[in-house]
Amino acid sequence: MSCLSFGLACGGGDSAGTSEDESAYGGETADDSTTGSDLTSAHAVTGFKALETPVSRVLSQDLTALLPVGASVPARSTVTATRSLSLEGTPAYLVVAEPSMRSLVVKKSDFDAAAAAGTSVFTSTLKEHVQAPLSRVLVADAAQEMAVSIDMCQSSKAWDLALFDWLRQVGRAIGAPVPVAIAMTGGWAKAHGPQLLQLIGWHAAKELDIVWVNHSYTHPLNCNAAKTSCAFLTAPSVDFLAEVTENEKLLLGQGAVPSALFRFPGLVHDSGRRSQLSGLSLFALDADTWLAKGQPTHDGSLILVHGNGNEPPGISKFFSLAEQGHWLDQAKAGKLRFVSPLRTISAAAQ
Ligand SMILES: [Zn+2]
């Protein structure tokens, strides 16, 4: 690809957002204050449990999902259940559907009626990537491609609405919602209920194609006094299972279906936590293009920015790149594609 196409790494004229003045964790530790929750659940989620062993089925007929509302999975798809739950009193499973790797909630009775599958691409890929976080998307030859991920760590600041508006604008221009990973924390969701519902509304209205990524429930920092080193979820005191499942329950309660992608706070993890995560049927989603840290874009970039007001240099860099690289025009011309972050799983399967 040409560096000019993405507007970066060609040298000259690019002075915004260098990494030298950023902490090692960018916006991850910039603001840990939260306010009380103004969020109420739209859906009753009870009996939520992670399956010790994921179970796969092959659908003999089209399957209509309970969540997202209106979603379905076509016949002959392989689906893998990773969580059991009761949604509004209906026994259900959280499943991952192939080949899209999208997550849905389906009736337990519908799932159980389908034929058993010996294995699935999802589970075999999961086993092969226990210690290998995902950080690249599958790149096609026809156009330059990138995936955008937006971290929403706890924050008392106003969110970066302009970023979401720009992505919606691109979606209108190309006639399809832009896929975007939103790495959500319970802390941000509870403190910014109206904004969370706005995101969910944009997804439902097909203005954004949101892949919900679990960024942990409380997003603990566990930094040393100087904040030069933070353990985040690798601290021994962390209740890792609760950090994962409580956030999933919160999202499902709002009608947002968590994907099989998990973003470790600070992108900090160790072998023990990676093993635990895989045991919960989740992939660690890293990023190779954390803009505020000065990491350059490339074809197949997995971009990381913070949309919670905590990392202005990342947002500035994003808009600077978009302007220099004419991203909107390039997208309209089909020369630049924003691809689903779920393609990190597809890339790993190859
Ligand atoms: Zn974070």
Q: CATH number, domain at 232?
A: 3.20.20.370
Q: Which of 87, 110, 128 is the last residue of a domain?
A: 128
- 114: CB partners within 8 A, 6+ apart: 57, 58, 59, 60, 63, 79
Q: What is the pLDDT of residue 230?
A: 94
Residue 101, token pair as written in the block: 């790797």
Number of structural domains (the chain) is: 2
Residue pair 202/208 in contact (Cβ under 8 Å)? The answer is yes
Q: Which of 110, 128, 146 is the last residue of a domain?
A: 128
Q: What is the pLDDT of residue 133?
A: 94
Picking from 317, 310, 304, 319, the residue whose alpha carbon sits closest to that of residue 17 is 317
Say if residue 319 is in the same domain as residue 345.
yes
Confirm whether 11 is domain-assigned. no
Q: Tell me the pLDDT of the chain (350 aa) as tens digits.
A: 333 344 433 332 223 333 333 468 888 887 655 556 768 888 999 999 999 999 999 999 999 999 999 999 999 999 999 999 999 999 999 999 999 999 999 999 999 999 999 889 999 999 999 999 998 887 776 779 999 999 999 999 999 999 999 999 999 999 999 999 999 999 999 999 999 999 999 999 999 999 999 999 999 999 999 888 999 999 999 999 999 999 999 999 999 999 999 999 999 999 999 999 999 999 999 999 999 999 999 999 999 999 999 999 999 999 999 999 999 999 999 999 999 999 999 889 88
Q: Measure 115 CA to ligand 1 centroid, in angstroms.
A: 40
Q: Measure 266 CA to ligand 1 centroid, in angstroms.
A: 6
Domain span at 328: 129-349
Confirm whether 12 is domain-assigned. no
Q: 228 by DSSP, 3-state: which?
A: coil
Report d(CA 46, CA 292) in Å as an integer: 39
Q: Measure 328 CA to ligand 1 centroid, in angstroms.
A: 27
User: Each residue of 119-132: pLDDT tens digit?
Assistant: 899 999 999 999 99
Confirm whether 275 is domain-assigned. yes
Q: Measure 29 CA to ligand 1 centroid, in angstroms.
A: 8
Q: Measure 171 CA to ligand 1 centroid, in angstroms.
A: 26
Q: Which of 100, 128, 156 is the last residue of a domain?
A: 128
Residue pair 256/65 in contact (Cβ under 8 Å)? The answer is no
